[in-house]
Amino acid sequence: MSGTMNITLKVWRQAGPTAPGGFEEYKAPGISPDMSFLEMLDVVNERLIEGGKDPIAFDHDCREGICGMCGLMINGSAHGPSKLTTTCQLHMRSFKDGDYITIEPWRAKAFPVLRDLVVDRGPLDRIIQAGGFVSVATGSPQDANALPIGKLEADEAMDAAACIGCGACVAACPNASVSLFTAAKISHLGLLPQGQPERYRRALHMVAQMDLEGFGGCTLFGECMEACPKGISIDFIKRMHGDYIWGAVTEKPEKVALGSG
Amino acid sequence: MRKFWDSSVGKKVVMGLTGLVLVGFVLGHMAGNLQVFMGMERYNAYAKLLQEDIIEITWAVRVALLVSVVLHVTAAWQLTRRSWDARPVAYALREAQVSTYASRTMRWGGIYLFLFLVLHLGQFTLGWTWLFPEYAKGAAYGNVVLAFGHPFWVAFYLVAMFFLLLHLFHGTWAVLRTLGLAKNAAEPLQRRLPLIIALVVTVGFSLVPLGVALGFVR
């Protein structure tokens, strides 16, 4: 068959959270360069199932690059070799016939492996619960023009809000730091007027939660920004630091301890 | 206070602030050292100024520097331990994409610089004769010439300056981001001023051992 590729995969297999894991090699002949990376894994899994073996477990959902479910360490690079791309939007044409591809789950103490390539990204949810919201009285929505927001502010807030929470920043960071995710979530609210009342408290709470979850600290390697499929800038980490410092100096002590969800 | 110090951001801020103190110090120290090229009299007079005439100020600076070094190293140590703990299972393969060599050598380079700092103080300030037998109290110029007559000391100092270059290249760039002061940038990893600061400091420092080794200072 012309135009297809023969590749070899080295995949992390682990039966469960406490089971010992290890790498297994799989031959994947006859792969179309038009397949997405996940479709290639689907093909490999079909063959495994036909052969009576356990398919490789991996996270995926929308497969159009916006849900944040997929995420694999591919040849030592989060979401693979293409920039601004989730694993599902990575295509096999980015590889060559005969390539040897190493596939690993995101590695972090805070992201325990559940099975094979699936990790528990619950800590990201708990960081959001710690402060990634605005407390507003709900009711009928007000007029969209009632709160004027500058174009540049709106743009910057949207740049931060592009975060899909995939965890690639943690995976790519040599410190396993979640700073880029947390900073994006702090910033997209803090840049808008609705987010102002809780801006500094939000930074204090979310930073405290990310430390509590056991992530490493930021040393500004910049790897997160490169791995991020949405191209979120480390400028937001700088902003998070600014908010945190100001909050630490000015925030009043709280009367009621907040739960972590 | 306690909460701030316990947080990873707080420790990083402490590292940034103390780092700024130390950057200020190396700039001044480097400029002072260059007086070695203006002759023995001038250099020894400068040493006497610091060690006798304004010794009270010198001690105030020393205390500030000591506190800065202790806080900087303690925070770095604790943050490093946290980062190592944060990834208990290493990747079989992880390729650095955009991180600079400087950022990846902050820790081990920092350890070398700390070792350098101890030996450097022992050699020229505390006068440890087991380390540097030719040491003579009050003869600052002579000590410099004698020390850098040894190829070992020249090499040891130049390696330290190489790591200092890397440390400053990353540190002086990162500090403004750590303190939340930098402006947004299209290419946040690009930097010019940190490179200039790092080069000025390390070239300035390196001129002294090189000047002795090459015979300009004797």
Q: Note the pLDDT tens digit of each residue in A215-238.
A: 999 999 999 999 999 999 999 999
Distance from the A140 Cα atom to the nearest Cα atom in chain B, whole angstroms: 36
pLDDT of A138: 77
- Interval A69-83: pLDDT, tens: 999 999 999 999 999
Give the residue-averaged pLDDT of A17-39. Answer: 95
Distance from the B5 Cα atom to the nearest Cα atom in chain A, whole angstroms: 11
Domain boundaries, chain B: 9-82+105-213
Q: Inter-chain contact A76–B93, Cβ cutoff 8 Å?
A: yes
Whole-angstrom distance, CA of residue A181 vs CA of residue A240: 11
Domains and CATH numbers, chain A: 5-114 (3.10.20.30), 121-250 (1.10.1060.10)
Q: At residue B91, what are phi and psi to the nearest 5 degrees? A: -70, 145
B192 at the A interface (CB within 8 A)? no
Give the residue-averaged pLDDT of A90-108. Answer: 96
Q: Inter-chain contact B10–A220, Cβ cutoff 8 Å?
A: no
pLDDT band at B198 (very low <50, low <70, confident <90, very high): very high
* DSSP character at residue A149: -
- SS3 call for A22: strand
Which residues make Cβ contacts (< 8 Å) with residue B129, sequence separation at least 6?
A: B135
pLDDT band at A261 (very low <50, low <70, confident <90, very high): low
Whole-angstrom distance, CA of residue A25 vs CA of residue A29: 13
Which residues in chain A have their CB less than 8 angstroms from residue B10's CB? 244, 248
Structure-model confidence comparison of residues A120 and A143, the more confident one: A120
Does residue A109 have a pLDDT over 70?
yes
In the block, residue with structure tokens 């929470």: A165
| Residue A171: its H or E element | helix A168-172
- Interval A187-220: pLDDT, tens: 999 999 999 999 999 999 999 999 999 999 999 9
Q: Contact A209/A128 with Cβ under 8 angstroms?
A: no
Residue (of A192, A45, A212) closest to A133 by Cα position: A192
Tokens of B108: 């081990």
B1 at the A interface (CB within 8 A)? no
Mean pLDDT, chain B, integer: 94
Tokens of A7: 């590749």
pLDDT of A258: 61
pLDDT over 90 for what percent of chain B? 90
Secondary structure of A66-129 in HEC code, one letter for each residue: CCCCCCCEECCEECCCCCCCCHHHCEHHHCCCCCEEEEECCCECCECEEECCEECCHHHHHHHH
- Helix count and strand count (H, E) for chain A: 8, 7
- Interval B97-123: pLDDT, tens: 899 999 999 999 999 999 999 999 999
* DSSP character at residue B177: H
* DSSP character at residue A132: -
Does residue A158 have a pLDDT over 70?
yes
Whole-angstrom distance, CA of residue A115 vs CA of residue A233: 31
Q: Inter-chain contact B87–A109, Cβ cutoff 8 Å?
A: yes
Give the residue-averaged pLDDT of A134-154. Answer: 86
Q: Inter-chain contact A107–B91, Cβ cutoff 8 Å?
A: yes
* DSSP character at residue A36: B
* DSSP character at residue B50: I
Helix A179-190 crosses helix A199-212 at what angle (to 10 degrees)? Answer: 160
- Interval B122-168: pLDDT, tens: 999 998 989 998 998 889 999 999 999 999 999 999 999 999 999 99
Which residues make Cβ contacts (< 8 Å) with residue B93, sequence separation at least 6?
A: A73, A75, A76, A102, A104
Q: Inter-chain contact A175–B188, Cβ cutoff 8 Å?
A: no
* DSSP character at residue A59: -
Q: Inter-chain contact A217–B12, Cβ cutoff 8 Å?
A: yes
* DSSP character at residue A155: H
pLDDT band at A259 (very low <50, low <70, confident <90, very high): low
Which residues make Cβ contacts (< 8 Å) with residue B49, sequence separation at least 6?
A: none
pLDDT of A3: 85
Q: Contact A64/A40 with Cβ under 8 angstroms?
A: no
Does residue A1 have a pLDDT over 60?
no
pLDDT band at A139 (very low <50, low <70, confident <90, very high): confident
Does residue B180 have a pLDDT over 90?
yes
In the block, residue with structure tokens 């040491």: B135
pLDDT of A207: 97
Mutate which of A18, A73, A169, A238 to disrupt the B interface (most B C-beta within 10 Å)?
A: A238
Q: Contact B34/B207 with Cβ under 8 angstroms?
A: yes
pLDDT of B128: 92
pLDDT of A140: 84
Tokens of A90: 């990575």
Q: For chain B, how big is the Rg over CA atoms in Å?
A: 19
Tokens of A121: 């990204």
pLDDT band at A260 (very low <50, low <70, confident <90, very high): low
Q: How far from A71 is each of A8, A77, B12, CA to CA, in Å?
A: 19, 11, 29
pLDDT of A251: 87
The gap from C-alpha B109 to its chain's centroid, in whole angstroms, comes to 10
Which residues in chain A have their CB less than 8 angstroms from residue B176's CB? 238
pLDDT band at A34 (very low <50, low <70, confident <90, very high): very high
